[in-house]
Amino acid sequence: MTVTYTSEHFKREARLALDQPNLQRALDRTTTLLQARRAEAYRAFGEFDAARAAGSRIKDHVLRHLDHYLETFEANAEAAGCKVHWARDADEACRITTELCRRAEAKTVTRVKSMLGEEIGLPEALDAAGFERVETDLAEHINQLAGDRPSHIVIPALHKTREEVSDLFERAHPPHRHIDDVAELVESARTTLREKYFAAEVGISGANFLVADNGAVCTVTNEGNAELTMQLPRVQIVTAGIEKLVPSMDHAGVLLRLLARSALGMELTQYTTFLTGAKRPGDRDGPEEMHLVLVDAGRTELLGDELAPILKCIRCAACINHCPVYGQIGGHAYGGVYQGPMGSVLTPAMASLAKSKDLPHACTLNGRCDEVCPVAIPLTGLMRTLRERTWRQHLVDRPTRLGLGLWGAVVRRPALYRPASRLGVRALRLLARGRPALRRLPGGGAWTRSRDFAAPPPGGTFMARYRRGER
């Protein structure tokens, strides 16, 4: 099922987000905490930079030899008792998954949130096919109750304050009492969700890594919901993007050390599970059938593109947590499934640049994302590449284009630029009327609505004064 996400209203959505006190409070609390925790984990690790270089090399290597690792993975996963399905796009992936649920005669489907699932619109597809979909991730449970979309790839309900969650749970969870304490709120969700794990006929999860040389699927969570979802139902379905491959368990180990530290500042997540195949004769538990749906959805095409490094992304959200723009507007304004710097590259790269043209521009190019990315993706460089495409494809709005065109014509010619800048300075001086700063600037409202603009001092431009012999 194709869900139409759109970033076309980025500017409006961003402005709305800035005016939501609850969202602002939630963003302040969480991003500050996550930055501090990541910094501490980075410091305590001691080998972070070496691990980062290794992690980056592993991802580069896999992307160069993706065909080889996909075939190896398929053979080993099938040998371990999995059935591998290939999906070219989102529609095909959803069709295969819902069909597998139907064949399992499922009524209830438990699900662990995965970004790939969100990307292909799997929740909506399951709902449309009539299954009772139970989101088992605490944050996704909150979003499901609130009818909200995830606003962060790792902390999907980051936009909600504890107070809002209290109200939601009071309405949705029997016996409908008001709870303020976080531990009690979690217990309330646990009690509600627990019976669903046993009722579900199918469990659906994603994968953090697919291990080629033994066919294992690796998931990480802090809640244990992946383990319950993957092992209690009779049928298990894993949906994963084809870029999730790693050659071996050792390689997964390197990336796991980076992932947990980068995401939440932890040495390891509470649960790290490698699942290899369905229940074998003699096994006490595990699913009777295990299906792997491997999804392309634009990835192969991206491999040959300048933007290919974004396929290295391990979805840790460090770039998002450190992005000053995300820190102000939160995730929903980005419109897509992904947010912040990685989303501002991935959404235009995978979907349509025309419909998400704001995303690569809504960035100060401060480079903090490049610095914290655990697999060294040059995020601001990729955003610059996308900006260049918006320029070439005439997606930059007309006034900006004309303005820059005019400026370019002058700035290319020093002999023209000198008098033009002298004139500009004189105009600013006149408008300032002797005051040291301008409070309003005709045509410059975007600056002066919220900021003063320092007036140039008397005497003219530097170049004019320098030519007059001033030193």
Q: Binding residues for another protein, per CB under 8 A?
A: 11, 14-15, 18, 324-325, 327-329, 361-368, 370-371, 384, 386-392, 396, 400, 404, 407-408, 411-412, 414, 417, 421, 424-425, 428, 436-437, 439, 444, 446-447, 449-457, 459-463, 465-466, 470-471
Supply the minimum distance, in Å, between the C-beta of residue 313 and another protein. Answer: 20
Supply the minimum distance, in Å, between the C-beta of residue 261 and another protein. Answer: 18
CB nearer to another protein: pick between 71 and 388: 388
Pairing of strands 437-438, 453-454: antiparallel
Supply the minimum distance, in Å, between the C-beta of residue 378 and another protein. Answer: 11
CA distance readout (Å), 303 to 151, 296, 349: 27, 11, 11
Supply the minimum distance, in Å, between the C-beta of residue 48 and another protein. Answer: 16
- Angle (CA) 100-102-104 rounded to 5° is 70
Of the candidates 236, 238, 208, 202, which has an alpha carbon nearest to the alpha carbon of residue 221? 208
CB nearer to another protein: pick between 128 and 406: 406
Supply the minimum distance, in Å, between the C-beta of residue 411 and another protein. Answer: 5
Of the candidates 116, 91, 89, 27, which has an alpha carbon nearest to the alpha carbon of residue 333? 27
Of the candidates 30, 88, 37, which has an alpha carbon nearest to the alpha carbon of residue 296? 88
Cβ-based neighbours of 141, under 8 Å, separated by 6 or more? 135, 189, 192, 193
Q: At 311, phi and psi to the nearest 5?
A: -70, -10
Cβ-based neighbours of 26, under 8 Å, separated by 6 or more? 158, 159, 160, 161, 330
Supply the minimum distance, in Å, between the C-beta of residue 26 and another protein. Answer: 15
CB-based contact 333:2 (threshold 8 Å): no
CB nearer to another protein: pick between 45 and 417: 417
Supply the minimum distance, in Å, between the C-beta of residue 14 and another protein. Answer: 6
Supply the minimum distance, in Å, between the C-beta of residue 47 and another protein. Answer: 21
CB nearer to another protein: pick between 286 and 378: 378
CB nearer to another protein: pick between 181 and 470: 470
Beta bridge partners, 108, equal 132
Supply the minimum distance, in Å, between the C-beta of residue 447 and another protein. Answer: 6
CB-based contact 275:230 (threshold 8 Å): yes
Supply the minimum distance, in Å, between the C-beta of residue 398 and another protein. Answer: 13
CB nearer to another protein: pick between 103 and 449: 449
Of the candidates 32, 11, 34, 35, which has an alpha carbon nearest to the alpha carbon of residue 329? 11
CB nearer to another protein: pick between 224 and 324: 324
CB nearer to another protein: pick between 190 and 418: 418
Pairwise CA distance, residues 163 & 165, whole Å: 5
Element (H, E) at 146: helix 138-146
Pairwise CA distance, residues 237 & 85, whole Å: 10
CB nearer to another protein: pick between 134 and 325: 325
Q: What is the CA radius of gyration of the chain?
A: 26
CB nearer to another protein: pick between 182 and 411: 411
Supply the DSSP string of 199-253, one letter for each residue: H-SEEEE--SEEETTTTEEEEEESSSHHHHHHHSSSEEEEEEEGGGEESSHHHHH
